Amino acid sequence: MTTPKTGRDAPASSKAARRANRKQELAARKQAEAAAAAKARRRRKLLTWSGVAAAMVLAVVLGVVVGSNSSDSADDAALDTSVAAGFPESTRTDGGVVMVADDAQNPVRVELYVDLLCPACREYEARVADTLERLVIDGRVELVVHPIAILDGLSTTEYSSRAAAAVACAADEGLFWQYQKVLYAEQPAEGSDGLSDQRLVELGTQVGLPAAFQECVDSATEAAWVEQVTDTARQAGISSTPTVLVDGGQITGGTAGDLEAAVEAAE
């Protein structure tokens, strides 16, 4: 507060001067410490923000790069709607569509519950189709598909029900599996209008379905069958798709390897 005048009255003020010096030193040291602390704070801020920013940028770049290299199996399969040679014709029962080799002996029963509007069903089919076709052709698996309609609320035209009825018609002509593949390849988005009945017929013609198929789709007689298959599934506690049963037991692994392992375990 007061600056001591050291020149005058030396003995009395020397103590005060020393005190003042010490005060000044203390202040200087404090200032230096504050400056050092400020510098440390700045350094810390710089390092933390650049660390966080680097981590986030790296994450985004990795995601974009790795993601673009891992296209959906379904995307790759969009063009590939071919079915392995020797794959048996489909037949329809009260509960589903059955595909089994003529010479199969004690095949393991694999059941798929699918809704044709469900993107995960499309992806699953793309992942396991090759394996499944081989297992069926080799007579190791009896494949039963239950086309159920649980996503009618997700299209404006009840596409799930219409598509399930159409695959039922295709099943009667033996070409269920082939037809299902083209329906997956052209799967409409959830929330859309879905494919028109006319388009469903066109796609059937593409895989070689006869005129009887068109009559079947137009007459809409299979709606009742779809309803029955859906109700039966609901009663069995199946509320979401895709659900896969191997030898009656539900499997949860979503790869072709998981499916084959489950079949092997059941053999």
Positions that interact with other proteins (CB under 8 A): 33, 36-37, 39-40, 43-44, 47-49, 51-52, 55-56, 58-60, 62-64, 66-68, 70-74, 119-120, 123-124, 127, 189-191, 237-244, 250-255
Residue 26 or 59 with smaller CB distance to other proteins: 59
Work out how close the CB of 106 gets to other proteins at its nearest, in angstroms, rounded to a whole number: 25
Work out how close the CB of 203 gets to other proteins at its nearest, in angstroms, rounded to a whole number: 22
Residue 88 or 194 with smaller CB distance to other proteins: 194
| Dihedral in degrees, nearest 10, Cα atoms 95, 100, 103, 105 | -60
Residue 48 or 221 with smaller CB distance to other proteins: 48
Largest Cα–Cα distance in the chain? Answer: 125
What radius of gyration do the chain's Cα atoms show?
36
Give which of 217, 210, 112 is closest to 162, Cα–Cα: 217
Residue 4 or 119 with smaller CB distance to other proteins: 119
Work out how close the CB of 55 gets to other proteins at its nearest, in angstroms, rounded to a whole number: 4
Work out how close the CB of 161 gets to other proteins at its nearest, in angstroms, rounded to a whole number: 17
The token pair at 266 is: 């059941």
Work out how close the CB of 43 gets to other proteins at its nearest, in angstroms, rounded to a whole number: 6
* Residue type present at position 22: R
Residue 66 or 85 with smaller CB distance to other proteins: 66
Give which of 86, 173, 81, 82 is closest to 136, Cα–Cα: 86
Residues 115 and 100 sit within 8 Å (Cβ to Cβ): no
Distances from the Cα of 225 to the Cαs of 54, 90, 219, 233, in angstroms? 57, 16, 13, 12
Give which of 199, 161, 179, 186 is closest to 90, Cα–Cα: 179
